[in-house]
Structure 1
Amino acid sequence: MMKILHVYKVYLPENFTGIPRVIHTLAEGLTHKGVESHVLTLAAKGRSEPEAIGSHYAHYVRRDLHIASASLSASAFGRFRQLAKSADVIHYHLPWPLADILHLAAGRKKPSVATYHSDIVKQRLVLPIYSRLLHPFLRKVDAIVATSSNYAETSEILAKHRSRVSIIPIGIGEREEPEPNQKERWRARFGDSFFLFVGSLRYYKGLPFLIEAARRTGLPVVIAGSRDLADFDIHDVPENVHFSGEVSEEDKEALLSLCQAFVFPSHLRSEAFGVALLEAARAAKPMISCEIGTGTSFVNIAGETGLVIAPRDPEALGGAMTWLAHNPQEAQKMGANARRRFERLFRAEDMCAAYLRLYHRVVATHRQ
């Protein structure tokens, strides 16, 4: 039995987006491959005993401070030392400065993997300081993983470690077909010829550009997610833009089944991969995304699985939406291509298998 310790700042039940979803997929997906997974994470209240989540375990230490997206905990050090003793591999998920400190302080004797999910974008003022910690950490771990070749090639941080970077794309499980009554309920509300965005309404998602493109084109747009637009300079929303609110996984699949295309206007490198694009590709939908030098253009290939446009450009976004609306046969071909690319590169079992091979490799090389 191989024991893996994942280390990241948030996890279930507080957060189940992005990196926590990747950790959960790995932990559950490797259970039947002889792997026992543990997750060390921070929470509002620490717990003395681990909590079972599916077939793996989460260990919560109290979050003492949260500043500039860097959660800190004094009690993490003792719990980390305890868990690291029985771990065969420690898997760090970045960016999170405390993970770097934990490794340099108490984790260097163990085989280690660092998945570099994203550069620091919003808090760039702290990057020169953090770099003094990050680069020694990356030199010490046994393996570095990027989730796409696009990100590895454009990250200034990874450029200094490129010879040691492996590419393992994020993978997700197969979709479950929505129930007919769910589809009919959403069809009655929005029809079946809308452009769909699904995701958290964060500063880097480009929603002002999508809403402006909808205003210019008059095409129907459905935005699935919280309607809190406080981070955006949006004064009025046209009638052809509809907010569904937060949706369940089942309702998300129903909306994906009904939409004519998926639109993903993220305009900053904070959007490091775009799991929502994988979900659209899995549903055989053509996609529109922006070229920001990250994994979004690894998932969505321009002219093959959808259209890729310049960021922050409502005119280009509206033009891409109009083209897909007026060329349904080409859009359908792109959706079929997206599905084939998903099957080839982005299945959860393939991601799990790749990491398992990497775990065995770092165990062997660390001993040497």
Structure 2
Amino acid sequence: MLHRWLRGKNRNTPDKIEQAPLRVLHVGKYYPPYRGGMESFLADLIEQQRASGIDARAVVHGDPLPDDPEWLIRVPVQVTLVFAPIALGFPFALWKAIQRFKPEALHLHMPNNAAFWPLIIPSARRIPWVVHWHSDVLVSEWDTVLKACYQLYKPFETKLLQHSEAILATSPPYMAASAPLQRWLYKTVAIPLGLKPLDTETLQQAEEEDVSEWGDAQLRILSVGRLTYYKGFDTLISAVAGFAEVQLLIAGEGEQRKELEALIERERSHHGCARVKLLGQVSEARKYALFNSCDIFALASRERTEAFGLVLIEAMQHGKPCIASDLDGSGMSWVVGQSGTGQCYAPDQVQAWREAIRQALEAKAQLAHRGQVAQRAADAQFTIAQCEARIREIYQSFSPIAAIPDIEKAASSQLLVAVLQDLRDIDLLVQWRNASPSQQLVCVDATGDPEASSRLQQASITTLALADLGWEDVLAVVQRLVSEQGYTALTILPAHRVLDQGGIAEDRKPNWWQRLLGGLGIQYHRLGRDPWVLRDAATSDWALAAHGVLGARVWSFKK
């Protein structure tokens, strides 16, 4: 990536560096107490990361609250356009957080228009990005406003994915079906979402909650979510109509409440009964009480906006079997399939869901056992600890030092980096290596020739291929080597001059342009042409500098 600048670490021993906490800055849409699947997951993830030793912080939309921790920055929203919050202060707040916190990774949660601000903030572009792809932006062909807005949104979305180091999808089916991700599958990995263990205090409060709404129903069905079109609550309401022994409770609030209330009345008059209650927004304790007291959980979403169905994991944690939509490209059926205790049915097919309810009534005695199996599956496969561990591995893979895991600390304190541009110079590298076995050599292969890689491997010369990394990553590797291995001398030169190092320091004279930049604290070099000789303090200063790379030219900026 042309303009990605990577910074070196402070000079420490490897042991000290391992103890330093990794600094990660999340850019989210909202944060609890705002309710939503993305928001709940972000809160659980940050809590787990901080418990695991990662210094995780976040910048999100919303009004600051008195009890907000110091690591959480909320930016007030001026207006919401087509479900997108607009906070005019967000770019400044993000820039300020980066300047103060100096994160080593940005974790951008999508969909989220605020995640586009790093594209125009230079300091943000110098940091590796992880894009957490919670959902595509799904546009209905009848929604002309949203369709027009997405045409403006899409180019930024593409740039964001292009610049990212890694993309995290929430399930294999969603990863395979997401159209925006298809160009970037080579750097996309599916990491299932997870939840933290149930809160003991809230569970105790849940036991005191009144759940008399169930009445005398033989089969208690629960569904939870915002009252909106894609959730498919209308399918559930129509499916339970006529079952006098079934009670459906729906927890959540939203713009479709009046439509759903009208549907309940129509089904009640048509079928004689429709035991459905809309409970509105409920507290966490009450939600837990509803999960504990239901027999089965239902999620009838009809669109891939329901990308994963985190609420299914909540139900499984409470030991409840699930029925969900068998929706192509969504993670819902995959999550239920992983538990091995639920069933999936075609979205919007009322008769199919009616049959599901009839089968659940007949198998009522087996539901408790199926719920226990679901609970074990949730504990084994969908915990926030497991999710956090896999995400941490992604962060750690950004370390440029991982590009050459077999590097060993040489007895000498000098590091030589030779830029190979001609196959014939490999013999010179071998000759120098044989004459200086105690000095560490790293070859930067700029030839692009497969034969070079083979010959260098045969000669046991540590190699970084420009075709794989690019100059910015090569420099980051060298910076980390200097910092972590404690080298006090560094030489970067063309491979054909490897046997002529003695005269390099004497014959290198900066031109007027280099002298001018030097007065400003900036070093300018043409990689592969200008030899670089650094000793002692100059070496450690270079390892701490920020580097900007354009083609084969590099600018080093003192901090």
Residue equivalent to 2:319: 284
Which residues of 2 match residues 1-368 of structure 1 at below 5 A?
1-13=21-33, 15-43=34-62, 45=63, 53=68, 57-85=71-99, 86-106=102-122, 107-122=124-139, 123-176=146-199, 178-179=203-204, 182=207, 185-187=210-212, 189-191=214-216, 193-218=219-244, 219-226=246-253, 229-230=256-257, 232=259, 235-237=262-264, 238=268, 239-292=274-327, 293-301=329-337, 304-364=340-400, 367-368=476-477
Question: Separation in 1 of the partners of 2:206 and 2:61?
Answer: 40
Pair 1:227–1:92, CA change in 2 (3 A)? closer
Identify unmatched segments of 5+ residues in structure 1: none
Residue identity matched to 1:121 = L
Question: Separation in 2 of the partners of 1:298 and 1:152?
Answer: 12
List per-residue Cα deviations over 1:213-260 (Å, max 9, x = no partner). Answer: 111434221112237634746524234112333222222222222211
Question: Separation in 1 of the partners of 2:47 and 2:339?
Answer: 35
The alignment's TM-score, normalised by the length of structure 2, stands at 0.60
Larger mean CA deviation between 286-295 and 32-41 belongs to: 32-41
List per-residue Cα deviations over 1:115-137 (Å, max 9, x = no partner). Answer: 01001114344333322221121
Question: Separation in 1 of the partners of 2:258 and 2:397?
Answer: 44
Pair 1:68–1:363, CA change in 2 (3 A)? farther
Identify unmatched segments of 5+ residues in structure 2: 1-20, 140-145, 269-273, 403-472, 478-559
List per-residue Cα deviations over 1:30-73 (Å, max 9, x = no partner). Answer: 21222222211222x5x6xx97645x622122323321222233
Pair 1:62–1:188, CA change in 2 (3 A)? closer
Larger mean CA deviation between 30-39 and 237-246 belongs to: 237-246
Question: Separation in 1 of the partners of 2:290 and 2:216?
Answer: 10
Question: Separation in 2 of the partners of 1:65 and 1:342?
Answer: 38
| Pairwise CA distance, 1:355 | 1.6
Pair 1:258–1:102, CA change in 2 (3 A)? same
How much identity, in percent, do the aligned residues show?
Answer: 24
Pair 1:42–1:254, CA change in 2 (3 A)? closer
Q: Any conservation in 2 of the 1:200–1:225 contact (CA below 8 Å)?
A: yes
Question: Separation in 2 of the partners of 1:244 and 1:272?
Answer: 24
Residue identity matched to 2:129 = S
* Cα root mean square deviation, aligned: 2.6
Q: Any conservation in 1 of the 2:339–2:377 contact (CA below 8 Å)?
A: no
Larger mean CA deviation between 177-186 and 71-80 belongs to: 177-186
| Pairwise CA distance, 1:338 | 1.8
